[in-house]
């Protein structure tokens, strides 16, 4: 039976400062995500889903297994999409074309995405995902849910659970969402878009 391990970050713990602090990374990645990984490994035996890929577990599981598998997948996508801060950080290529076709402009997309994140009640995630035809959609997913559960391919996500931002932003969720654009690794997001 496979077991899951805490993902290795593709950057140093302080690489995302000042947008995401080293202290937040230690708490969010080192404590919260580690707990979800531990819970997933404890719940997986005798579930009938032991040999499935993580995405398939998220699509098929229920209850606590679904919640912990979902949080592992969500956080792996989340932590894997960042790089050090860049000014004028925007996507290019086919992803940018698709954003323009779906939302009219990158500025309009950012506005809609941030609004979806700011207005999601309680804990959860806001996602940019691709449909089978390559068109894009923004969804709000409560708690541990993931767009793969709706047949979508997740590309970009902002975590709006308070532990993702509270140390640095307290209750200012919109400020946190606005700051995240500077650290998105658009090459990673576009690779997810181009991977069918």
pLDDT along the chain (196 residues), means of 10: 92 96 95 97 94 96 96 98 92 95 97 94 94 95 95 96 70 86 97 88
CATH code that applies to domain 22-79: 1.10.287.990
Asked if residue 85 lies in contact with residue 183, where contact means CB atoms within 8 angstroms, the answer is yes
Q: Which pair of tokens denotes residue 91?
A: 């996507």
- SS3 (DSSP) at 136: strand
Q: Are 156 and 128 in contact (CB under 8 A)?
A: yes
- Report pLDDT for 75: 98
Instruction: Please tell me the predicted confidence (pLDDT) of residue 148.
Output: 96
Q: What is the pLDDT of residue 45?
A: 95
Inter-helix orientation angle 106-119/93-103, to 10° = 70
Output the pLDDT for position 141: 96
Domain boundaries, the chain: 22-79, 93-194
pTM for the full predicted model? 0.94
Q: Cα–Cα distance between 157 and 39 in angstroms, integer?
A: 22
First to last CA, the chain: 28
pLDDT of residue 112: 97
In the CATH hierarchy, which fold is given to the domain comprising 93-194? Answer: minor pseudopilin epsh fold (3.55.40)
């Amino acid at each position: 039976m496979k077991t899951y391990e805490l993902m290795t970050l593709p950057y140093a713990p302080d690489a995302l400062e000042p947008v995401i602090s080293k202290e937040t990374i230690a708490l969010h990645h080192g404590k919260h995500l580690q707990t979800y990984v531990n819970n997933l490994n404890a719940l997986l035996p005798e579930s009938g889903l032991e040999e499935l890929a993580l995405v398939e577990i998220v699509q098929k599981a229920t209850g606590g297994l679904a919640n912990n598998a979902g949080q592992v997948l969500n956080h792996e996508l989340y932590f894997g999409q960042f790089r050090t801060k860049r000014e004028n950080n925007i996507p290019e290529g086919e992803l940018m074309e698709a954003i323009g076709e779906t939302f009219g402009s990158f500025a309009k997309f950012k506005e809609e995405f941030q609004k979806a994140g700011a207005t999601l009640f309680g804990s959860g995630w806001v996602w940019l995902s691709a449909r089978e035809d390559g068109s894009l959609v923004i969804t709000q997913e409560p708690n541990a849910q993931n767009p793969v559960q709706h047949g979508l391919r997740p590309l970009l996500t902002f975590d709006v659970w308070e532990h993702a931002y509270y140390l640095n932003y307290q209750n200012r969720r919109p400020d946190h969402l606005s700051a995240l654009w500077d650290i998105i690794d658009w090459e990673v997001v576009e690779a997810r878009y181009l991977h069918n």
